[in-house]
Amino acid sequence: MMHPMVKKGQWHDYEDGKKKEYGEFVRKAREFAYARPAPPIYYNTTPKGPNKNDARAVLVCLLLKIWLGKPYRDLVSFLADGTYLWPIIGLGVLPGRMDLQRAMNRLTREYLDSLDSFIVGQGYRGEPEGSAP
């Protein structure tokens, strides 16, 4: 069944539009995440070595997970296919499902409250450009 908003033969335009939308979200999330101190989410608890990704990049992944409404496994698959987002997010390596889940569990209420206050303080209301009165 075809998507009701996509005419026959225009899937390429639809997919390009979705990529642009994802990129815009990730850019804005990165802007907010990297303007703040890194969250205390040391998700790699194995003795293999230090985390491969900045904690703020992992935070952007978690914000993307929430925005897309995807489970951890689906987000990892999405990111594996969406390597074009990695430089925008700041990822060096693909985080695993358990890495993301551990990081989410370690985000404190205080950190999330301060991030929310920062975003609101920046005047961001989450509306697409041109839709605000």
| pLDDT tens digit sequence for 67-124 | 999 999 999 999 999 888 999 999 999 999 999 999 999 999 999 889 888 888 877 6
Per-residue pLDDT at 15 exceeds 70: no
Q: How many distinct structural domains can be found in the chain?
A: 1
Residue 81 vs residue 52, higher pLDDT: 81
Does residue 48 form part of some domain? yes
- Cα(53)–Cα(11) distance, integer angstroms: 33
Does residue 131 form part of some domain? no
Of 74, 73, 83, the closest CA to residue 22 belongs to 83
- Cα(110)–Cα(123) distance, integer angstroms: 20
Q: Model pTM?
A: 0.75
Range of the domain at 101: 22-121
Does residue 132 form part of some domain? no
Give the mean model confidence (pLDDT) for residues 23-37: 90
Residue 45's SS3 state is coil
